[in-house]
Chains A and B, each alone.
Chain A
Amino acid sequence: MTPQVTTVNHETNTEEVRDMTPEELAEMEAFDVVAP
């Protein structure tokens, strides 16, 4: 399942949910992750 993005816009009081784009997925995978 493709990870999703929630965007809340407080100017329009709307919430949008969408799949992550391939570019966003690649960007996340390239994070030099620091252990929690």
Chain B
Amino acid sequence: MAIKTFTTGELLTASDTNTYLANSGLVYVAQASPTANATINIDSVFTSTYRNYYVVVRGTASSGSAVYLRWRATGATLTDNIYSVSMGNSNGTTAFGGVARSDQYALFPAMYPTYPTNVTMTIYNPQVSDYTSFNLQSNYPITATDLGQTIQSGSNKVTTAIDGFQLTTAAAPTLAITYYIYGIRNS
């Protein structure tokens, strides 16, 4: 049972708290603020304990840059997958959208100096024999008065189980990020 409804006068025991507080919907898995660099690899965070994961990323770049997402498995970056991303953007004054596709990466929201990009991302099926895909939404303040925002999704085309992901840049500014990873309870 995921939750329990207590009635007036009912005794809340240590066993109850151990059971029901542990049955929260999101379960903390990992958090870190890695040394800022052009590429950040985050390994050994996805296991078969949870089918889906929720990830929060906050980050800046030493200079404004596109950021790219790739999956990782057993310490290696998967470069032969096909990622596809649909995205809708607005920079505060102009709305635009489009579809980007690459054999090498999925687009991740851009990062800039000073004003952090904030991203929430759901990752589906990383450790089961199914396509790993994601949905994310973000805002990225380019300046104090120019706010960009995106909604993106992507998928790979193979069912390789992954245990982590990579954020990287092509122009090689450094990325300074803090991330929080939670498992979404299956039941």
Q: What 1/0 flags go to B97-138 for Cβ under 8 Å of A?
A: 000101011010011100000000000000000000000000
Chain B residues with Cβ below 8 Å from A9 are 43-44, 75
User: Which of the four size classes fits the interface of chain B?
Assistant: 35 or more
Least distance between B52 CB and chain A CB atoms (Å): 18
Query: Interface digits, B80-96 against A, CB 8 Å rule (1 contact, 0 not)?
Result: 00000000000000000
Among B44, B75, B105, B110, contact of A10 (Cβ-Cβ < 8 Å): B44
Digitize A9-23: 1 where CB-to-B-CB distance is under 8 Å, 0 elsewhere: 111100101001000
Contact B172 A10 (CB under 8 A): no
Decide yes or no whether B56 CB sits under 8 A from chain A. Answer: no
Distance in Å: Cβ of B139 to nearest Cβ of chain A: 13
Interface residues of A in 1-36 (CB under 8 A from B): 3-12, 15, 17, 20, 24, 27-36
A11 touching B43 in the complex, CB below 8 Å, given contacts A28-B168, A31-B104, A36-B66: yes
The 4 closest A-B pairs by CB, nearest first: A36-B110, A11-B44, A3-B38, A7-B41
B residues near A (Cβ < 8 Å) are: 29-30, 32, 34-45, 64-68, 75, 79, 100, 102, 104-105, 107, 110-112, 140, 148, 164, 168-172
Selected A-B contacts with CB under 8 Å, 24 pairs:
A3-B38, A3-B172, A4-B37, A5-B38, A5-B39, A5-B41, A6-B34, A6-B35, A7-B43, A7-B75, A9-B44, A10-B30, A10-B42, A10-B43, A11-B43, A12-B44, A15-B32, A15-B35, A20-B38, A24-B39, A27-B79, A34-B107, A36-B64, A36-B140
